[in-house]
Every structure is written in structure tokens, then in C-alpha cells.
């Protein structure tokens, strides 16, 4: 077994990006994710890579777009206000079918808001945050180990499907230190990138673009993208099930909220309450089938989020028709992070 | 076995270093651990706080509402966190700086340790955090002193390794208060 390390989630994520072959990083500092550019600025030059502190978030997302068009693995990271600025570039990447990893260590808003742990960018992440009706892959780690493992997965999925991928965390997952195993990059068959721009040479001209003006061209392009989202839903949905078999109440939560909720679920079990946890790991594609399956039997779901209610809408769309979907959450900000004790009260109230 | 602890004081007392040290020591013992710093607009002299959870199996929530143990190093953190300690739990208090008369609880155990006084006797007032961790280790058995000693090498930057013997002495002095 590889030796266990003890590091911040943000650092583990940066380390995983390098293990996954990312050699180009573009970003602009913002709390609570600045450990990521700090790590990349230290490590990438040693590997012959390139770290650029761009003049803005908008510049850095467009640098990611450009780097990706040449076929390399590249990444940008930011936190909520910066991710808002990147949306135009993400939409262009989605339109041009460019892979690339975008990290959002989500902070509280709206506007400048605060730096506390938040899941209030759920809608923005999973519904296509920019214009044009697209989706990106969204992965939600709930431990430092997953910050590491899911970042490597984000690069692979993004390359395979030619869709930008987001790692969606917050200051709990990003700033805490945990023991984790720095697993080697998984072996995976990846198709050659025969679409990258490389100078014409003797080959055929290649164009990376999101502009389609010909009659019927754009519709066909969009149907192709939507078809791919369908394949993602079919093949790449991931979730964790915890004590669901005999559950009378299923708690649904992702990321840091799921960590807090899991302790509450264990406490509830200790008191004899049959409670389980269903934790989406991919937020897009959303684990619709998992929710449908569990609610064929268990008719009560309590969704817990660090916001005023966003994922709960996807849970409602996914469950069996006669299931009740309840919600507990608080708008994020200083002092509003729920504790396991607080969630246990909610579980007991709704059981 | 699962151990959770709040460590709180003011910025500069080494609260976060103490939490980190516990984390590294737990890793050297092959345990799972989470170290969650209160993350705000922190500065020297302001409030500093972290939560550490050490477990043989899954850590569970890195966020804890009511800890079984609290190490409270100054008055402000005592006033804020003593009420949060789980009934039946333990509060290790730096009585050099904390007057506990304002808030008395009879449902938790108080371990008074005059940390600043002990640190001054040892010749370095900066050792308050090590005395606190030594007391914690001896009181709870959550971590071995030898692991803490080993973890100092991982926690401190190379340039500060010359201070390790003094830190070990402070850990031992803290442990003695609970033996």
C-alpha cells in the first residue's frame, strides 16, 4: 500500500491533478481555494509544466479553453464569485466540445457573500451555469480521499466525453486535513485526440469552435451534445448507499453536508431509528435511478444541503411518485454550518 | 474507538499547530483522522479554533457540535465553548489565563492546568499548546506521547527541528499534570 498522507483537501486535489497528467494551470487567487494555485505554482515548473496567474478569472478560463484545444490536460480553479465570471468560457468550452477541469471550492453568496462553506452553487453547477442549454460533468467529493480520487476521474471523464468537468467542493472539504492514500492514476483506454488544433501541416484542417451557422447545423450539434448527456446518465452515474436496505427514512446529501449527515445517521441508528443515507457523488449526471429504486420501498426522503434548497428539486424529480421529499438546510454564512447533533434533531422530527 | 476534541484559544497560541500535531500523530499510529480548522478571517490575537476527530474506522463528520473533550486556552474560548462540551465530557482549561468562576458545570470533568505558568517554568512561554496536547494525551489515551514526538518531525518545518527537544519536554510536562 502507498503511504498515507495527511493533507488539506485542496492540496490533495492539486496533487491528483498532477498525477492525472495535468501540466497546465491557469487561475486567479480567491479564498477558500488559494492552496490549489499555491501548490500548482510550486510543483508545475519542476515538471516542465506551466503555471499562469492570469489577470482575471475570465482570462484563466479562456486560457484553459485554448490549452485544451491543443490536446493537453489543463485545469483552472476558483470559488463562487470567480466561477460566475468563468461561465461564458465554460459555455464556449461546452459548445466546442473541449475537455478541461474546473474546480469550484464554493463559498457563500450571493455577490461577495462570505468565505464559509456553501453548496449554494448547486444549480449553477448542474444546470449549465452559462448560456445555451448545456451541461457539464459535476463531481462532489466528501472527503480528502475523494478530492484526490475524483479529480483524477474528472480528467478521464472529461477527455472521454469531451465535456468540461467540475469538481465541486467547499471550505470544509478544501480546508480540512485528513489522512488519505495518494492512489496512482487509474489505467484507462483513452481515444486519441484526433480533433486537436496543431497547425495544418500536410493533414486536413481542424477547427475547434462553437459557432454553427449553417441551416440545421446547430440543431444537429445540440442533439449530439444532448445524446452524450444521455450516455453519461446511463454509464457514469455514481453514488454511495449507506444502510438503505431497511431504512424508513433516507437522508439525501452530498459533499460536506453528507459527511455531517452520515454521523447523524449513525447516531440515529444507535437510537434504534432505521435511517440510511444516499449520497450523490456525481451531481451531473444525477443518480436518478438510485433515488427511484430506494423510494419504491422507502417513502420518505430528507434532503440536507448547505443552502435553502436546490438539489432537493432533482431528488423530487427522481423519486417514486408517492414518496415524500422533505428538506432541511440553511443559507450558508458564518455560524450556519449545521452539526451532526442538529441534523439528528431533524431526522428524529421527520422520522 | 472515536475521539473528538475542540482546541481553542487566540491566534498565536499555537492552536492550529496543536491540531495538526494530533493529526500527524494519529496517522503515524495508523488511525484515521480529520483536522478541521474554523475558517474565517483569522489573525494573530483573534480567535483560533479547530476540531480534530481520531477514529479506528471511519471518521464520520469532521464537524462536531458537542465534543467529548475541549482544550480551552484563553478566556474568550472558555466562555464560548465550555457550554458545548458533551455532558460527561472533559474540559482541559488553561487556568493561567482562564477564570472558570463565570461558568461552572457540574456535568463535565474539569482539568485545570496552569499552562502559561508551566511554560514559563520550562523557559519558553510559547509551549502552551504542547502542554495542552500532553495533558490531552495523558488524560484521554487518544494518542501516545511517543507518536506525538515522532509527529513533531512531520509537523514542524525543517528549520524548527532544533526546537523538538524543548517541545517534547513540554508535552511530557503537560502529560504529568494528568497522571
Q: Using a CB-CB distance cutoff of 8 angstroms, which residues of chain A are in contact with residue B18?
A: none
**Model pLDDT, residue B39:** 67
A96 to chain B, closest Cα gap in Å = 38
The ipTM of this complex is 0.94
The shortest CB-CB distance from A32 to any of B39, B60, B66 is to B39
Give the residue on A whose Cα is nearest the Cα of B51.
A176
Closest partner CB to A263 (pick from B41, B61, B154): B61
Render pLDDT for B110-140 as a digit per residue (tens, 0 to 9): 999 999 999 999 999 999 999 999 999 999 9
Shortest Cα distance from A259 to chain B (angstroms)?
5
∠ CA A333-A105-A187, nearest 5°, is 150
State how far the Cα of B118 lies from the Cα of B174, in Å rounded to an integer: 8
- What residues contact B77, with CB distance under 8 A and at least 6 apart? B8, B9, B10, B47, B49
Residues of A in contact with B37 (CB under 8 A): 175-176
Residue A330 DSSP label: -
**Which residue of chain B is at minimal alpha-carbon distance from A174?**
B36
Residue A2: what pLDDT? Answer: 67
pLDDT of B145-171, one tens digit each? 999 999 999 999 999 999 999 999 999
Give pLDDT, residue B41.
66
Instruction: Assess contact for B111 and B91: CB atoms under 8 A.
Output: yes
Distance from CA of A227 to the nearest CA of B (A): 38
- Nearest CB neighbour to A178, from listed B34, B40, B61: B34
Interface residue of B65, B66, B147, B156 to substitute, partner A, most A CBs within 10 Å: B65
Closest residue to A179, CB basis, from B20, B33, B41: B33
- Hey, is the C-beta of A193 within 8 angstroms of any chain B C-beta? no
Q: Does residue B40 carry a pLDDT above 70?
A: no
Q: Which residue is closest to B42 within chain A, CA to CA?
A: A115
State the smallest CA–CA distance between residue B30 and chain A in angstroms.
9
C-alpha cell at position A119: 453548496
Q: Look up the domain containing B12 and give its range.
A: 2-176
Backbone angles phi, psi at A222, to 5 degrees: -65, -40
- A253 at the B interface (CB within 8 A)? no
Query: pLDDT tens-digit profile of B50-81?
Result: 999 999 999 999 999 999 999 999 999 999 99
Please tell me the distance in Å from B139's CA to the nearest CA on chain A: 24
pLDDT at site A25: 98
Please spell the DSSP secondary structure of A76-134, one letter per residue.
EEE-HHHHHHHHHHHHHHHHTT---EEEEEEB--STT--SSB--TTHHHHHS-SSSSS-
The answer to whether A76 and A60 have CB atoms below 8 angstroms apart is yes
Q: Which residue of A has its CA nearest to B154?
A: A6
Task: Give A168's strand partners.
Answer: A104
**Chain B residues with CB inside 8 Å of A115's CB?**
39-41
Whether residues A259 and B31 touch (CB distance < 8 A) is answered with no
Among candidates A177, A334, A340 on the partner chain, residue whose Cβ is nearest the Cβ of B23? A177
Q: Can you tell me the distance from the alpha carbon of B92 to that of B111, in angstroms, rounded to the nearest whole number? A: 5
- Which domains occur in chain A, in start order? 5-197+223-235 (3.40.50.970), 240-350 (3.40.50.920)
Helix axes B164-176, B128-140, angle to 10 degrees: 50
Number of domains making up chain B: 1
- Are A238 and A287 in contact by the 8 Å Cβ rule? The answer is yes
Residues of B with CB below 8 A from A5's CB? 27
Closest-approach residue (CA) in chain A for B30: A4
User: A181 in contact with B at a CB cutoff of 8 Å?
Assistant: no
Residues A349, A345: Cα–Cα separation, whole Å: 6
By CA distance, what is B151's nearest residue in A? A6
Question: Minimal Cα distance from A342: which residue of B?
Answer: B65
Interface of B with A (CB under 8 A): 20, 23-24, 26-27, 31-37, 39-41, 59-66, 154
What's the CATH number where B103 sits?
3.40.920.10
User: Which residue in A has a C-alpha nearest to residue B25's C-alpha?
Assistant: A6
Q: Does B26 contact A116 at a Cβ distance shorter than 8 Å?
A: no
Chain centroid to Cα A263, Å, comes to 22
Alpha-carbon gap, residue A311 to A315, rounded angstroms: 6
Higher pLDDT, B46 or A154: A154
Point out the residues of chain A with pLDDT beneath 50.
none
Is the previous residue joined to A285 through a cis bond, with omega within 30 degrees of 0? yes
Report the residue from B20, B32, B63 with minimal CB separation from A179. Answer: B32
In B25-147, at which residue ranges do the beta strands (DSSP E only) sit? 32-37, 47-55, 69-72, 90-94, 109-113
Please tell me the total number of residues recorded for chain B in this structure. 179
Inform me whether the C-beta atom of residue A172 falls under 8 Å from chain B C-beta atoms: yes
Amino acid at each position: 500500500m502507498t503511504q498515507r498522507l495527511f493533507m488539506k483537501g485542496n492540496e490533495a486535489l492539486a496533487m491528483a491533478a498532477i498525477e492525472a497528467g495535468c501540466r497546465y494551470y491557469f487561475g486567479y487567487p480567491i479564498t477558500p481555494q488559494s492552496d490549489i494555485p499555491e501548490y500548482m505554482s510550486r510543483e508545475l515548473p519542476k515538471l516542465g509544466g506551466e503555471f499562469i496567474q492570469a489577470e482575471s478569472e475570465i482570462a484563466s478560463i479562456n486560457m484553459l479553453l485554448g490549452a485544451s484545444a491543443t490536446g493537453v490536460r489543463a485545469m483552472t480553479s476558483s470559488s463562487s464569485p470567480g466561477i460566475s465570471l468563468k461561465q461564458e468560457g465554460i459555455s464556449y468550452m461546452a459548445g466546442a466540445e473541449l475537455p478541461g477541469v474546473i474546480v469550484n471550492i464554493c463559498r457563500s453568496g450571493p455577490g461577495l457573500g462570505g468565505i464559509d462553506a456553501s453548496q449554494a452553487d448547486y444549480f449553477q453547477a448542474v444546470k449549465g451555469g452559462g448560456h445555451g442549454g448545456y451541461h457539464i460533468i459535476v463531481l462532489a467529493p466528501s472527503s480528502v480521499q475523494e478530492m484526490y480520487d475524483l479529480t483524477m476521474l474528472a480528467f478521464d471523464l472529461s477527455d472521454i466525453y469531451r465535456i468540461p468537468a467540475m469538481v465541486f467542493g467547499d471550505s470544509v472539504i478544501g480546508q480540512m486535513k485528513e489522512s488519505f492514500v495518494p492512489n496512482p492514476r487509474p489505467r484507462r483506454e483513452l481515444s486519441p485526440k484526433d480533433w486537436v488544433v496543431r497547425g495544418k501541416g500536410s493533414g486536413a484542417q481542424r477547427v475547434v469552435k462553437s459557432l454553427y451557422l449553417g441551416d440545421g447545423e446547430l440543431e444537429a450539434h445540440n442533439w449530439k451534445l444532448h445524446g452524450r448527456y444521455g450516455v453519461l446518465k446511463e454509464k457514469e452515474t455514481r453514488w454511495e448507499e449507506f444502510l438503505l436496505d431497511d431504512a424508513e427514512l433516507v437522508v439525501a446529501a452530498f459533499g460536506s453536508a453528507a459527511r455531517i449527515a452520515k454521523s447523524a445517521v449513525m447516531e440515529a441508528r444507535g437510537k434504534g431509528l432505521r435511517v440510511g443515507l444516499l449520497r450523490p457523488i456525481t451531481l451531473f449526471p444525477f443518480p436518478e435511478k438510485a433515488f427511484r429504486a430506494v423510494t419504491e420501498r422507502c417513502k420518505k426522503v430528507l434532503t440536507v444541503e448547505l443552502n435553502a434548497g436546490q438539489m432537493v428539486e432533482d431528488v423530487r424529480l427522481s423519486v417514486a411518485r408517492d414518496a415524500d421529499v422533505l428538506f432541511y438546510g440553511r443559507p450558508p454564512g458564518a455560524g450556519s454550518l449545521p452539526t451532526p447533533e442538529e441534523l439528528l434533531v431533524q431526522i428524529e422530527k421527520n422520522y | 474507538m472515536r475521539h473528538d476534541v475542540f482546541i481553542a484559544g487566540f491566534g498565536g497560541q499555537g492552536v492550529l499547530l496543536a491540531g495538526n500535531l494530533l493529526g500527524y500523530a494519529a496517522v503515524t499510529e495508523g488511525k484515521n483522522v480529520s483536522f478541521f480548522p474554523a475558517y474565517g478571517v483569522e489573525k494573530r490575537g483573534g480567535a483560533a479554533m479547530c476540531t480534530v476527530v481520531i477514529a479506528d474506522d471511519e471518521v464520520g463528520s469532521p464537524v462536531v457540535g458537542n465534543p467529548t473533550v475541549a482544550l480551552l486556552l484563553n478566556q474568550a474560548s472558555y466562555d464560548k465553548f465550555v457550554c458545548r462540551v458533551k455532558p460527561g465530557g472533559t474540559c482541559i482549561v488553561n487556568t493561567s489565563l482562564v477564570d472558570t468562576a463565570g461558568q461552572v458545570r457540574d456535568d463535565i470533568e474539569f482539568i485545570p492546568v496552569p499552562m502559561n505558568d508551566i511554560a514559563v517554568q520550562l523557559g519558553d512561554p510559547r509551549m502552551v499548546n504542547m502542554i495542552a496536547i500532553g495533558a490531552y494525551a495523558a488524560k484521554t489515551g487518544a494518542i501516545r506521547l511517543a507518536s506525538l514526538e515522532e509527529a513533531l518531525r512531520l509537523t514542524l518545518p525543517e528549520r524548527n527541528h532544533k526546537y523538538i527537544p524543548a517541545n517534547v519536554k513540554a508535552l511530557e510536562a503537560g502529560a504529568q499534570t494528568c497522571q
